[in-house]
Amino acid sequence: MSQSKKARLDRFVSQTLYERDPAHPVSKKQVRLMLAQGRIQVDGKPADSISQPIDFFSRIELDGERLQDNRPLYLMLHKPVGVVTAVTDDEHKTVIDLIEHPDKDQLHHVGRLDLNTSGLLLLTNDGDWSTALTLPDKEVEKCYEVQLARPVNDDYVQAFAEGIWFGYEGVMTRPARLDILDDHHARVWLTEGRYHQVKRMFGHFRNEVVKLHRSSLGSLQLDPALEPGQWRELTLDELDQLKASGVRHSAYLNP
């Protein structure tokens, strides 16, 4: 089942039982009888309709046996340079390869960091949550620490604030904040995530990004205790801080 889309209860039960025992398929009519007999429960309560909508985190039981019981997962990873943001890759180690968790096969990354970009990356099995975090309209700020090949000046600050034209897509970037830390170091805040956006914005000035590191996303700061390649689950407090910004989570389901 999709990790964000809803499905009908009868279709889920029928498909799940078929996958477990293809030699004995169960029809929707049989599922209807099971429901009438009170044999199916959804989130601890008797199912009320064969068309009852369920999702990836609905707890489904038949005669006390769990057919589905997925716990929402929200992880923070300190992504190292040289690791690709992907689920699988034939050439490079992926961010999923760094995770040691029994349900790691459910995870997907929230947005992406380039191969040579390090820092805060989130992973989850909650599709609605990841979609909300990456929608530009949510205006969830991402902060990047940047090292540059050439000196940076106040012209960059104004250009970033006004937006920079990306001719390939035919779009103007959203206004971004730029703080100059010293001649070759800056800090950038974005509310969107276009392809190689930070590098291309500095490329507008023919200035190469030598090093790029994401330090925060919304209210979340990269945990300084995490070494590159290490990860941990987000706390409820961290999730609720993002929820206050309009990014809802499912962490209270199926405790």
Q: In angstroms, rounded to a whole number, what is the distance separating the alpha carbons of residues 162 and 176?
A: 8
Q: Which of 89, 97, 114, 223 is catalytic?
A: 114
Q: Quick one: which of 209, 230, 186, 239 has its CA closest to 78?
A: 230
Is 237 in the active site? no
Length of the chain: 255
Query: Is there a contact between 116 and 214 (Cβ–Cβ < 8 Å)?
Result: no
Query: Is there a contact between 40 and 61 (Cβ–Cβ < 8 Å)?
Result: yes
Which are the catalytic amino acids? 114
